[in-house]
Amino acid sequence: MAQSRYTLAGQRALVTGGSRSIGRAIAFGLARCGAAVAINYHRAADAARSAVAEIESDGGRALAVRADVADPEDVGRMLDRVEGELGPVDILVNNAGVLTRTPFLEIAIDEWDRILRTNLRGYFVVGQAVARRMVRHGIPGCIVHIAFTSSRYASQNLSHYAASKGGSTMLTRSMAYELADHGIRVNEVNPGLIETDMNRRDLEDAAWRRMRLDRIPLRRIGTPDDVVGAVLFLASTDAGLMTGASVAIDGGMTVI
C-alpha cells in the first residue's frame, strides 16, 4: 500500500482478526501511519506473530494478543495486556468474522449461533469493553466496524451472515448515538467483493466469479488494501465530524 497522508503517531490501535486478509492489511496501514498496533487473533498464532514481525521490521510497534472476541473475560484479559504493553486503546477496528455458505432451509441452529456469536456478539463485547475503557481514561476514541455489503442486500446461502452484518450496522449507529457525549466516534466500512482467505476458493470457480463481477459496475474484485484507506480516514482527525456513518467500498455494487 502507498504511504498514507494520515498521521496517527502516539495512538494505540487494536484490530480484531488482525492476523490475516483485511485485518492484516488494516493493521499494517495503521502502523505505517505511526500507531502502535495490537493484532488480535483466535487460532492463527503464527500469522499474527509474522504480522508483528513485519511491522517491527519496518520500525513500528506491534503486539500479537489472543482472545475469543465473544468471551468477555478473554477480552478483558486481552485489553489488560494491550494497556500494559502499549497503553490504552485509542482506535478499535472490529474486524474478526466467520462465514459459511448454507441454504436458509438447511442452516442448523449451531451454525446460526456460531456466525452470530463471532460477527455480532464479538463486535458488541469488544466494542463495549473498549468503549468503557475509553470513557474511564477520558479518550475521545474511534471505533470502526467492518460490516461488508451483506449488511445492505441479501444473497443466497448467507442468511445468517447477512443477519450478523445487518445487526452490526445498527450496532454501529446505536453506539455512535450513545457514545457521542463521550467524544467517541463509531463508524463502519462496508467492503464489497474482496478476495480473502474466506472466499478464495469460491473465486476459483469461473462461473461464480463472472456472476459476481457482473454485479460490480467497476468490474473489479477488490483486495484487502482497497479497504485500508477508508479505515485510516475514519480514524483520522479529517473524519472528526463523522459518526454513525457507513462507507461502501464495493465498486458500485450497492448503487444497482
Asked if 8 contacts 88 with a C-beta cutoff of 8 angstroms, the reply is no
**Which grid cell sits at 79?**
485489553
Cα–Cα distance for residue pair 248/256, rounded to 1 Å = 13
Angstrom CA distances, 251 to 186, 192, 218, stand at 23, 7, 5
What Å distances lie between residue 240 and 14, 91, 140, 149, 233, CA to CA?
19, 13, 10, 24, 10
Cα–Cα distance measured from residue 177 to residue 199, given in angstroms and rounded to the nearest whole number: 34
Q: Catalytic amino acids? A: 161
Instruction: Provide long-range contacts, Cβ within 8 A and 24+ apart, for 72-76.
Output: 72/125, 72/129, 75/125, 75/126, 75/129, 76/129
CB atoms < 10 A from the CB of 104, how many?
A: 10
Secondary structure tally for the chain: helices H, strands E = 9, 7
